[in-house]
Structure 1
Amino acid sequence: MWKRKTGFTKFVNDIPLNYKFFMIYIVGVLLPILLLNLLFMDRMSGLIREREDQNLEISLERARKDIHDFIDGGVAVSHALNTDKTLYEMLDRTYKDPLDFYAAFDEQLRNRVSSYIPVNNQILQIGIFTENTTIVPGGNYHIIDQEVRESDWYRMWEESKASVMVAAYRAKQASNQTLTAPYLSVIEKMDYFDYYGTFDKLLRIDIDLSRIYDVIARERDYLNLFLVNENNEVIMSTEGGYQRVVSTSEGYPKFTPDSGDSRSMGPYEVAIGTAKYVKGWRLIGVPQGNRVTKAMLDMRLYVGFLAAAITLITSVFIYVMLRSYNYRVKRLSRHMQKVTNEKFDLIRIDEGRDEIGGLIRNFNIMTSRINSLINNVYKLEIQKKSLEMERVRAELNFLQSQMNPHFLFNTLNAILVVCTKNQYTDVTDIIKSLSKLLRRLLSWQEDLVPVEEEMRFIEMYLKIEKFRFRDKFEFQCEIDDEALRYKIPKMSIQPLVENACKHGIQAAEGLGLVRIKAFVAEGRLRIVISDNGIGMETGRLRELILSVRNENASGSSIGIRNVYRRLELYYDDQVRFDIASRPNEGTTVSFDIPIRLLEHQNDEDRGNVDGV
Structure 2
Amino acid sequence: MRRRTVRFSGIINDIPLNYKFLLIFVIGVLLPIIVINLMFMDRMSNLITEREEQNLQISLERARKDIHNFIDGGVAVSHALNTDKTLYEMLERRYESPITFYDTFDEQLRHRVNSYIPVNSQILRIRVYTDNTTIVPGSSYYNLSNKVKSSEWYKLWKQSSDKVVVGAYTETRISDMAVTSPYLSVMEQLDSFDGLNTYEKLARIDLDLDKIYDVIVRERDYLTLYLVDKHNRIIVSADKTLSGGAQQAYPVFELPQEADSDVHVVSIGTASYVKGWKLIGVPQGTRLSKATRDMQMFVFMLAAGMALFASGFIYMMLRSYNYRVKRLSRHMHKVTNEKFDLIRMDEGRDEIGGLIQSFNMMTARMNSLINNVYKLEIQKKSLEMEQVRAELNVLQSQMNPHFLFNTLNAILVVCTKNNYTDVTDIIKSLSKLLRRLLSWKEDLVTVQEELRFLEMYLKIEKFRFRDKFEYELDIDPQALQYKIPKMSIQPLVENACKHGLQAVEGLGTVQISVKFIEGRLGVTVEDNGIGMTEEKLAEITQAMSSENMTGSSIGIRNVFRRLELYYDDQVKFSIMSEWNEGTRVSFEIPMKLMEQSKEGLS
TM-score normalized by structure 2? 0.46
- The two structures have a TM-score, normalised by structure 1, of 0.45
